[in-house]
Amino acid sequence: MAKLAVIAFGGNALLRSGQKGTYEEQIKNVTETCQSLVALVKQGYNIVIGHGNGPQVGNVMLQHEAGSQVFGLQAMPMDFCVSETQGSIGFLIEQGFRNVFAQEKINRNIVTIVTQVVVDKNDSKFQNPTKPVGPYYTKEKADEYAAKTGSVFKEDPKGNGWRKVVASPQPLRIQNIDIVKKLALDGNIVVTVGGGGIPIIEKENGLIAGVEAVIDKDLASALAAVNIGADEFYILTDVPKVYLNFKKPNEKALDVITVAEAKQYLQEGHFTEGSMAPKVRAAIYFVESGGKECIITEAGQLDNPACGTRIVR
């Protein structure tokens, strides 16, 4: 029976440091990542893909703001912007795979599902939003928007200005995950939980509503992996392994670590919040919830059976 794997695309799979985010740059990056994933496809894996959307959703918010200021169009809320990027990035991934498969003479379907993810409306993180999104503003402009919209703005630690911040609540349930599983087990490559999923809350009488929030894409992908019973969970990033003392003289690459060791390294502060810490937490969640192993690596390493850092029980 074919193995089932969930792969979480890191930001560099779509947009790399120093790039502007043009269509040409993004389709080139995505196609290269898809080419790397062919190694798993040729090994007979069934694949489900999650992806980030940080730069893309920021650009969409800029476009909405410009449309509002110049043409008087309504700027759409965060959940709507996430849905836009799910569709556009899904298109890029589908195009990348179809072109690679045409060259490799591989016959597989690729389908993107615009995915909602349920969060708790009482999640404590809504009381303390910390996730920066969208463009930078002056203090005066941020105060103006805050008074007008009720949004929260915080100063960038690097001095680039003020940015809107939203909550990053825990993902609880992925809508249509059973359909994702069936499609994947039938041999289709499925793109889901894009950008961590469109955050929604459940109201009375089964009603739902989108919320101003961003769900961590690695954690949402880990939840998807658990829900569909994936054998393996891959988190693709821009380094081949996880490191202790990263970029220091005593830097050490990790090959295989246990969940207990991963927790210890987290507690000791080896992994930063803006980089490796969320990935390691997602790996821990997957393995503790019944997964066999999580592999954190860069896409170009996937043709090596011993690639990356492997987190096991």
The residues that are catalytic are: 11-12, 131, 217, 279
Record the tokens describing residue 84, joined without a space.
């836009």
Residues 6+ apart with CB under 8 A from 93: 9, 30, 34, 49, 51, 110, 112, 191
Strand partners, 236: 297
Q: State the helix-helix crossing angle for 54-71 and 78-104, rounded to 10 degrees.
A: 130
Cα 136 to Cα 128: distance, rounded to the nearest angstrom: 20
Please give the C-alpha separations between residue 230 and each of 180, 184, 222, 260, in angstroms, as whole numbers: 12, 10, 9, 21
User: What's the gap between Cα 93 and its chain centre?
Assistant: 14
Closest CA to 21 of 65, 53, 51: 53
Pairing of strands 116-118, 198-202: parallel
Cα 135 to Cα 128: distance, rounded to the nearest angstrom: 20
Please count the other Cβ atoms lying within 10 Å of the Cβ belonging to residue 106.
Answer: 13
